Chains A and B, each alone.
Chain A
Amino acid sequence: METSSLVSNLYVFVLATFLGFEVIRRVSPLLHTPLMSLTNAISAISLVGSLVILGKQGGAINLFSILGALAVTASMINVVSGFLITDRMLKMFKSRDNRKTEGGAR
């Protein structure tokens, strides 16, 4: 890696960390479980790296494509289940008003 891109990457890392602190500090403890599963889904962005490893091999079966394929599968599990389950959890959080209107409709 060139020094210039290394330095700019370090800047990105530090700034993103601070931004993360600021944004996440504001998340109510009520939603800490969905927060964890959402950040989990987001960090499954390692899928991108896994796709590159697998894709670069052009279909050849070797150590790299096997490692890549396993990594893609593992990340994809996290992407799909992470987002789905976060949404499933958030759907359950209902405000007092919401609950009444729904109860009335039943």
Chain B
Amino acid sequence: MSNPILTQTSYLIAAALFILALKWLNAPKTARKGVWAGEIGMAAAIVGTLLLPEIKAFHWIVLTLLVGAGIGIPIALLMPMTAVPQRTALSHCFGGLAAGLVGTAEYYLARSQHGGHLDHFTSGVLALEVLLGYLTFTGSLMAFGKLQGILPSRPITYKGQNFVNLAILAIAALIGIALAIDPTQAGLAGGVVGQLMFPLLILLALLFGVFLIIPIGGADMPTVISLLNSYAGLSASAMGFVLDNKLLIIAGALDGSSGFILSVIMCKAMNRSFTNVLFGAFGQVQAAVAGKVEAKPVRSAQPDEAAAILGMAQSVVIIPGYGMAVAQAQHKVRDLCDQLTKRGVDVRFGIHPVAGRMPGHMNVLLAEADIPYERLLEMDEINPDMPQVDVALVIGANDVTNPAARHDKSSQIYGMPIIDVDKARTVMVIKRGMAAGFAGIENELYHMEKTLMLFGDAKQYVGEMVKELASGD
């Protein structure tokens, strides 16, 4: 690729701006500046590319850019905030698809133009780009389906599943290596089989993406989304190696490392390893056992009683979970927060890293409901304060509050860091019924002396409490 100086300069500026964008995202105050830096960087990169002499079909380019923008703008503006995890999965899907398609085009272009002379390294990286790209495409599509509720979010498992998955990956890797050694695979069985090698790689990558996500359950989505984020980035980086384009390498590496860091954080927050998340099919084994510990007594309360206790408290910590997102209760929770604050109650939120379906999910929902971000505290910030808290109100969270994680070595979630709600003076749990959580584990919190179970739909229940508090003025 010939690279005029103007294009190279614009790429350099774009790379610098992308790094600044992520740096500015560190703090809420500078974060929006980060988005603008990213936008300018992206614009510079696009203009720089269009200045390349080999770029010709401008009518096609403009048309496809407009189509892309025409689809992208409504997605961004109309999507409700509760659908953020789905949207993210969908965008990983597009990212992976683009990388896969470009990789495919590059492979066949190189074959047709240079008489099949791809060097070993480029060919190997191409195989990697295609593998990552297409597996991210179907994997994210599956994740989207599960998050959107089109596919069942329970893990689907069958005997020998891990063997099948590893076998697919192993064959794909072998094809990749074979393509790196001999890019055209012309020697193989008179070239006929060789012709099929690359399409077979694509097919296996597509299949692997589907099979990888099938056994993953809803509560593991934060890790998986982060992992797919990382793959999408790495495939862009691989594209950079193939095209000898450093901007692509840098941007892809930034995305790759970001996704990797997030998935490590998510794994730590569940005290599980990558392998366990990907091959563990959490929540299956335990389902059968869950039935035996039933019929223990619980204390329940009506909205007026609960509201009275909350109104008299000095400090309240609300622990939100995916259930709050499902019930769309965040605006009612804000009203509750306002009512209590008016009475001089100190209201804060304790947010577990894996609460919700993607990293930071709860923060976005609560920010949407206009709750100032100073009130949103991380698990490690809120836990030391829990013994001084009058009421811990759990809304739609379960396993991340289960004290068994601290002391019960036989528990499946033993060792997982939790929010210590049981240390608060009073615990209230809004829940639809007594069904076990995602992991299928009985939560002993519900049977504690100081726990009040508030049975009902989160949005409706919180709404009734707000009404109660408002009428008491």
Residues of chain A having any CB pair with chain B under 8 Å? 1, 5-6, 9, 12-13, 16-21, 23-60, 63-65, 67-96, 98-99
Contact = CB atoms under 8 A, between A and B. Distances in A.
B429 interface: no
Contacts of A81: 71-73, 75-76, 87, 91
B257 A83 contact: no
B102 A46 contact: yes
B206 to A, nearest CB: 15
A69 B64 CA distance: 6
B61 A55 contact: yes
A6 B324 CA distance: 50
Nearest to B222: A32
Contacts of A93: 28, 31, 363, 367, 373
Contacts of A87: 32, 35
A71 to B, nearest CB: 4
A104 B1 CA distance: 58
Given A45-B247, A94-B367, A36 B262 contact: yes
A78 B361 CA distance: 20
Interface string B374-397: 111010000000000000000000
A13 B237 contact: yes
A46 to B, nearest CB: 5
A26 B64 contact: no
Nearest to A68: B105
A72 B65 contact: yes
From DSSP, what is the main secondary structure of chain B's interface residues? Answer: helix
A91 B257 CA distance: 25
Interface size band for B:
35 or more
Interface of B: 1, 14, 18-19, 21-23, 25-29, 31-32, 34-35, 38-39, 41-42, 45-46, 49-50, 52, 54-61, 64-65, 67-69, 71-73, 75-77, 79, 81, 84, 87-88, 91-92, 94-95, 97-99, 101-102, 104-106, 108-109, 119, 121-122, 225-226, 229, 232-233, 235-237, 239-241, 243-259, 261-262, 265, 351, 353, 358-361, 363-364, 367-368, 370, 372-376, 378
A82 B91 contact: yes
Contact of A58 (B57, B248, B251, B353): B57
Nearest to B36: A87
Nearest to B233: A43
B233 to A, nearest CB: 5
Contact of A52 (B97, B243, B258): B243
B59 to A, nearest CB: 7
A17 B76 CA distance: 28
B55 A55 contact: yes
B374 A96 contact: yes
A71 B375 CA distance: 42
Contacts of A90: 28, 31-32, 35
A28 B54 contact: no
A33 B105 contact: no
Contacts of B252: 43, 45-46
Given A36-B88, A39-B233, A71 B358 contact: no
Nearest to A95: B372
Given A21-B257, A74-B101, A55 B249 contact: no
B254 A32 contact: no
Nearest to B7: A48
Contact of A32 (B67, B75, B359): B359
Contact of A36 (B45, B55, B101, B226): B226
Contacts of A19: 19, 254
Contacts of B361: 33
B346 to A, nearest CB: 13
B244 A38 contact: no
A37 B34 CA distance: 12
Contacts of B375: 96
A53 B251 contact: no
A6 to B, nearest CB: 6
A75 B68 contact: yes
Nearest to A20: B257
Contacts of A70: 97, 101
B25 A38 contact: yes
B57 A55 contact: yes
Given A12-B246, A39-B233, A45-B45, A83 B39 contact: yes
A20 B119 CA distance: 29
Contact of A51 (B55, B122, B255): B55
Given A20-B257, A81-B91, A76 B72 contact: yes
Contacts of A51: 46, 49-50, 55, 61
